[in-house]
Structure 1
Amino acid sequence: MIRRYLKERRSWLLLLLVLEMLLLFVAYVDPSIALLPALYLAGLNAILCAAFLCWRYFRETRFYRNLEAGEHLYDPQALPEAASPFQAIVREAVLDQTEGSRRESASNAHVLEQEKNDLLSWIHEVKTPLSAMHLMLGRVTDEPLKNQLQQEWLRIHLLLDQELHRKRLPFLKNDLYIESVQLGPVLNKEIRDLRSWCIPKGIGFELNLKAEETLTDAKWLGFILRQLLSNAVKYSGPGTDISITSEEQDAHVLLTVRDRGRGIEPKDLPRIFDKGFTSTRNRQDGGSATGMGLYLAQQAAQSLLIVIKAESVPGEGSAFTLVFPRENDLVRLAGM
């Protein structure tokens, strides 16, 4: 700030220097003027100018330092009063611009909130005929056709579910209900919902839950598992099994979902939780992949203090491990 202030006042400083040099030059060339008193006067002027410069620096830059800090963006009253007419012009312009930005931001937030509510309402409306369609599928007698329709129905259902939870994610902390959750019932529900995909492919599930419960939010845990299990079913080969195990290590509950599918390329592994990322392997599958499932699962897990670890061997399968937080950490999150 000092350097910029001196740069701003360099023309005035140059003028003062020229006047000082002019005084000394006149004293030097005019024998009637004593040089020593002239030097004394020039030094005194220099001291007074330096003191005046310091005083003006702290008085003038206080306004601009506050402006640079941006505190007025959160509290317009934090902007100090102007110390000069030009600062008053700047202050008025900044306050007007800030107020305009606030109004525009509030208007945009209202529009986004309205769009979110409209979309959530639309999703709920779509779920009604979708549920009716699911009941009607039970009347289809052609088994191959029935299985295909059920698979397509499940894809639509999962995509709507993803969008519904994506809109709720920013407000997840307002929706948390931490309790002791039995892992078995949550897993069984998600597996049952995927049976229309699993049966035609001959995919089975192996459950070995040494740790049977953990503290978390059951609804959001179900959403996270839904993304992991649907991916496991999607990329598993026909006739393979998906194993789900849980155990306790160092006061952490670990839940692992392991498939025996095509696996993930090592170059893709660091990016699988990125928004919109789809595998670079078999790009022809990209049309059916949104790249949102693992991203949303990761976002929900972070809010629950759950760490998702992924490991994979191409051609042998992948494993995703949920590391649940210790009880004390979760209690602090829930404010219990």
Structure 2
Amino acid sequence: MGLMRFIKEKNINIIFSIALLLVINIYLISINSFNGRTSDLIYLDFIIITIYLIWIYIAYFNWKKKYYDLYKSILNENDISLEDVKENSLEEEIIFKLIDNKDKKYDFKTKEYEEKLRDMEEYISKWVHEIKLPITALNIISEDIEDYDAASSIKNETEKINFLVNSVIYGSRATVASEDIFIKEENLGDIVKKSIRNNSFFLIKNKVEIVTSNLNYNIHSDGKWIIYVIDQLINNAIKYSKENGKIEFYAEDNREYIKLCIKDNGIGIEKEDIERIFNKGFTGSNGRNKVYKSTGMGLYFTKKVLNKLEHEISVESIKGEYTLFNIYFYKISDYLKVTKM
């Protein structure tokens, strides 16, 4: 707020002061206080107006000193503490109490919302554990079925259900994942192997070749969440694979981070879709194709989880040739810098 805006805010005060000065002038002229010497009256008015303008400027300066930083914080959408608001006037005290009351209501609603999320996550977690029992039973039963095609079909569907169930549990936890994150040193090669093992049935069924190289690096992250992320990327690679599909896993050592590269030779992503593939519910031209069914949630949760872990992800693709996902794991000193931001 500049000086002119401040003056406009004080317009009632200024109008009243001008009116009062006119009344005083009329009164002094009516009683002939200056014996007809108009110049003396003008001089008096000049002194009064000068003093008033000085008072306006001092008031503006004090206001600016008191509130300008607060005003800038509001414009820049920075966090503001109620301690920054001083209660020097009745109006300020009322505003302070209104804000304080709103903050308390907001905190209460936030805690209530978080409690509901935790309850939902707990319910889903219990539901997942319950539903895994019949899935396991179906897998065991399918092994005793003599008809190979029927057994394979049942195994295929139960593996799909198992993947979807795991996606549900991790997707629900991703909303409150900060309580379920344990950062420690993990071996990147071991994490990739576990994820490949998780998806071995679909990799074999779809005849997708796996190539791994240069993965013997230690990273700082939560292994179970990184496995979930890689599971999602492998599932996508299988879903959009071509004949003689191949997925490559390799890592590159940078001064600041270890980069995990996951590259497939599938159908690729349209150039205009690349910037939006991590958006919630975005399926793109591939997902809208009836051949490939997509909810648009897998990559959304992948990005969400990596954000919570303070890792970055990027994607490169050429339609019809390949898709490459890069996950960046900061080394310990840089990871601590990032997590403090």
Match of 2:220 among 216, 222, 229: 216
Q: Are residues 159 and 3 of structure 1, via their aligned partners in 2, closer, same or farther at CA, if it must alter by over 3 Å?
A: farther
Q: Are residues 132 and 213 of structure 1, via their aligned partners in 2, closer, same or farther at CA, if it must alter by over 3 Å?
A: farther
Could you tell me how far apart the structure 2 residues matched to 1:161 and 1:123 are?
8
Q: Which is worse superposed, 91-100 or 26-35?
A: 26-35
Q: Secondary structure at the match of 1:288?
A: coil
Q: Please report the RMSD computed on the Cα atoms of aligned residues, expressed in angstroms.
A: 3.6
Match of 2:280 among 253, 275, 281: 275
Q: Which amino acid aligns with 2:170?
A: H
- Give the C-alpha shift of residue 245 in structure 1: 3.1
**2:105 aligned with 1:104:** no
Superposition map of 1:24-173 within 5 A = 32-54=35-57, 57=60, 75-76=81-82, 78-84=84-90, 86-169=91-174, 170-172=176-178
Could you tell me how far apart the structure 2 residues matched to 1:225 and 1:173 are?
21
Q: Please, what TM-score do these two structures have when normalized by structure 2?
A: 0.79
Q: Which amino acid aligns with 1:328?
A: S
Q: Are residues 243 and 88 of structure 1, via their aligned partners in 2, closer, same or farther at CA, if it must alter by over 3 Å?
A: closer
Q: Please, what TM-score do these two structures have when normalized by structure 1?
A: 0.80
Q: Could you tell me whether the CA contact under 8 Å between 2:239 and 2:292 is conserved in 1? A: no
Residues 200-246 of structure 1, C-alpha deviations (whole Å, 9 max, x = no match) = 32223233x23423223322221221111111111112443333334
Q: Are residues 246 and 289 of structure 1, via their aligned partners in 2, closer, same or farther at CA, if it must alter by over 3 Å?
A: same
Gaps of 5+ in 1: none
- Give the C-alpha shift of residue 181 in structure 1: 0.6
Superposition map of 1:149-298 within 5 A = 149-169=154-174, 170-172=176-178, 175-183=181-189, 185-207=190-212, 209-217=213-221, 218-248=223-253, 250=255, 252-281=257-286, 283-285=288-290, 288-298=293-303
Q: Are residues 98 and 139 of structure 1, via their aligned partners in 2, closer, same or farther at CA, if it must alter by over 3 Å?
A: same
Residues 178-208 of structure 1, C-alpha deviations (whole Å, 9 max, x = no match) = 214150x43333223223223332223233x
Q: Which is worse superposed, 213-222 or 73-82?
A: 73-82
Match of 2:7? 6
Q: Could you tell me whether the CA contact under 8 Å between 1:147 and 1:196 is conserved in 2? A: no
Q: Which is worse superposed, 155-164 or 19-28?
A: 19-28
How many residues align structurally?
331
Could you tell me how far apart the structure 2 residues matched to 1:98 and 1:65 are?
22
Q: Which amino acid aligns with 2:193?
A: N
Q: Could you tell me whether the CA contact under 8 Å between 2:208 and 2:245 is conserved in 1? A: yes
Q: Could you tell me whether the CA contact under 8 Å between 1:278 and 1:286 is conserved in 2? A: no
- Give the C-alpha shift of residue 327 in structure 1: 4.6
Gaps of 5+ in 2: none
Residues 55-101 of structure 1, C-alpha deviations (whole Å, 9 max, x = no match) = 55567788876986679x965454322424x5444444444344333
Q: Which is worse superposed, 299-308 or 197-206?
A: 299-308
Could you tell me how far apart the structure 2 residues matched to 1:55 and 1:272 are?
56
Match of 1:318 among 310, 317, 323: 323
Q: Are residues 112 and 322 of structure 1, via their aligned partners in 2, closer, same or farther at CA, if it must alter by over 3 Å?
A: closer
**Identical counterparts, % of pairs:** 22
Residues 145-167 of structure 1, C-alpha deviations (whole Å, 9 max, x = no match) = 22222222222222222232233
Q: Secondary structure at the match of 1:264?
A: coil
